[in-house]
Amino acid sequence: MYDILIKGGTVLDGSGAPRFKGDVAVKDGLIARVAPSIDGEAARVIDAEGLFVTPGFIDTHSHADDLVFYHSDSYNCIEQGITTVLTGNCGVTPAPFPFDTPKNPIKRPVSDERRAEILRMCENGATYIEEAKKTEFGVNIAFLMGHCSVRAHAMGMSPQKPTREQMEDMKNSVRIAMEAGYYGFSTGLVYAPSVYGDVDEIAELAAVAAEYGGVYASHIRGEGNNLINAIEEAIEVGRKSGAPVLISHIKVMGKNNLGKSRRVLEMIHDAKDSGMNIFADQYPYDSGSAPLISQIPPKFLTEGGAKTLEHLKDPKFRDEIEWSIFNESDEFESIIYDAGYEGSTISDAVKTPQYVGKNLVQIAEEMGVRPIDAMCELLITNGVTVQGIYKCQNMEDILVYAADPLVFAGTDWGNIYEHHDIDQESGCHPRGISTMIKRIELIRDNGLRTPEETIRTMTGGPALAMGFEKRGFLKEGYAADICVFDYDKVHANSDYVHPYRPNEGLEYVLVNGVVNLEHGKCLGKMAGQVLLNKGKK
């Protein structure tokens, strides 16, 4: 007797193979059978007539690291069909402590006692993953170790080249994580202190991940004027380290760079043809989202949190920051350089909710100051924790990337804890709610790829690339992570103004054989697992 029998659907198995009409049987969290017709008894039968049955979607680019600290149903993942998240991207991870980098991962208010507890969990990758194993999740979760954290652990926020001992400290941090089951190493080469690492330093660290079959995930050193050099650097790290390369949230930023996606893909495919394992992840939106503090050139951030806040009060310091943003983009490309103050909208700032949803020009007018002053005031008042949305990409390049077989789906968002009013304005980027659905729509409506190929880039493709064992395919013996949906009708309702509006067309989502979504709504089941890399060594 099966636990669940999904009957009469159109099966896309995640490999890109042609779809077929068939049934999928689930037992004990696994896929028991996939066949044109299955007759056995089942505790529950799901009618999938007229619907696609596919593997659950894999979010190759998550920032859900803090999920380990709090219980959460991850409804924002489930309600877009995500059953597995790969987190720890962009170089920023909670472990190893200390993580007094500008992107502090404890974003939610916690008691001092709880804070101390969290710090203990974050001593290193092994203690963190031990904690993760005790936590319940709505989705499966896999981890990358971040360069910002590893470097801050070894040498604080220093912009110097590491000494041999510091280098060994960093390598040790990566090794502890890989031994514990991480899937690779990530950089955030526009974020301090990751930005201070040179190509040799990064390659040496990525090589440790590669010993365990881990990937090198790179938020590259520039995504606008510096894009081509930055892609070249990521490929060089892959060559030197032997690690597969995952280019994070692949994009083209800035009006001067329109069309550069073609050159980027040429470089990636050339590297692939030369034998490198290389791929990318993408979110299908023309505006990015990042902490406001990270738009300040890192040379102004070398002293860490509290001191930086003190400095931000100084008008002369503000002038220097502004001059650098708009005149030294070759050295560091702030998204504000590409989007302008007008294209930079505050999406989250807990202590100044009156400015959420407004751009820096509007906020400056309300404050009666210059935009750079408004920006610094927001950072000071909110203790650096301010999130922005920046209109800096173009649709043409987004579509070119979305059509490429090596480009997977990544939300570049994390876990949303509270269930927000669906009409709430701002507070989030729509990619946190709708990346997967929006990606299907974009590819479908522009005729970029077949449904089989689209689904492969969201399931089997990333599972193979990352080495997620027995995931990503509808095959006997594989984990029963499954989506059932109406391919022609899926639709994302969320947008920049109303990011929490729910998606349409998703009927069922199973995580490890447990039904966790029915007719678009997450059921709050905690059936996710921690995925552990047992790669080569």
Which stretches of the chain bind Zn ion, using CB under 5 A?
90, 219
Q: Cβ 188 to Zn ion, closest distance in Å?
A: 6
Q: Cβ 439 to Zn ion, closest distance in Å?
A: 18
Question: Of all helices (H) and strands (E), which one includes residue 289?
Answer: strand 287-291
Q: Residue 90 or residue 247: which is nearer to Zn ion going by CB?
A: 90
Cα dist from 98 to 87, 102, 476, whole Å: 19, 12, 44
Q: Cβ 377 to Zn ion, closest distance in Å?
A: 26
Q: Please calculate the CA angle 242-247-248 and round it to the nearest 5 degrees.
A: 135
Q: H-type helices in 408-514, by residue range?
A: 431-445, 451-456, 460-466
Joined tokens for residue 130: 């031990």
Q: Could you tell me if 126 and 179 are in contact, meaning their C-beta atoms sit under 8 angstroms apart?
A: yes
Q: Cβ 89 to Zn ion, closest distance in Å?
A: 6
Q: Residue 54 or residue 393: which is nearer to Zn ion going by CB?
A: 393
Q: Residue 435 or residue 454: which is nearer to Zn ion going by CB?
A: 435
Cα dist from 314 to 304, 307, 372, 386, whole Å: 16, 12, 12, 19
Order of strands, sheet of 184-188, starting from the edge strand that comes earlier in the sequence: 145-146, 184-188, 215-219, 245-247, 278-282, 407-409
Joined tokens for residue 438: 């929006």
Among residues 441, 443, 456, the alpha carbon closest in space to that of 505 is found at 441
Q: Cβ 219 to Zn ion, closest distance in Å?
A: 3
Q: Residue 322 or residue 412: which is nearer to Zn ion going by CB?
A: 412
Task: Classify 51 as helix, strand or coil.
Answer: coil
Cα dist from 351 to 135, 355, 378, 453, whole Å: 30, 10, 9, 45
Q: Residue 25 or residue 290: which is nearer to Zn ion going by CB?
A: 290
Q: Cβ 234 to Zn ion, closest distance in Å?
A: 13
Q: Cis check for the bond before 98: say yes or no (omega within 30 of 0).
A: yes
Which residues, at least 6 apart from 478, have a Cβ–Cβ distance to it below 8 Å?
Answer: 30, 31, 55, 470, 471, 472
Q: Cβ 520 to Zn ion, closest distance in Å?
A: 29
The alpha carbon dihedral of 203, 229, 222, 65 has a sign of negative
Q: Cβ 269 to Zn ion, closest distance in Å?
A: 23
Backbone torsions φ then ψ of 497, nearest 5 degrees: -85, -40
Q: Cβ 429 to Zn ion, closest distance in Å?
A: 12
Q: Residue 48 or residue 268: which is nearer to Zn ion going by CB?
A: 268
Tabulate helix, strand, coil % of the chain (nearest 5): 35, 20, 45
Q: Could you tell me if 514 and 28 are in contact, meaning their C-beta atoms sit under 8 angstroms apart?
A: no
Q: Residue 194 or residue 261: which is nearer to Zn ion going by CB?
A: 194
Q: Cis check for the bond before 109: say yes or no (omega within 30 of 0).
A: no
Q: Residue 78 or residue 250: which is nearer to Zn ion going by CB?
A: 250
Q: Residue 5 or residue 90: which is nearer to Zn ion going by CB?
A: 90
Q: Cβ 288 to Zn ion, closest distance in Å?
A: 9
Q: Cβ 63 to Zn ion, closest distance in Å?
A: 8
Please report, as a single letter, which amino acid is at residue 376: C
Q: Residue 27 or residue 103: which is nearer to Zn ion going by CB?
A: 103
**What span, in angstroms and rounded, lies between the C-alpha atoms of 105 and 414?**
11
Q: Residue 410 or residue 513: which is nearer to Zn ion going by CB?
A: 410
Joined tokens for residue 226: 């510096």
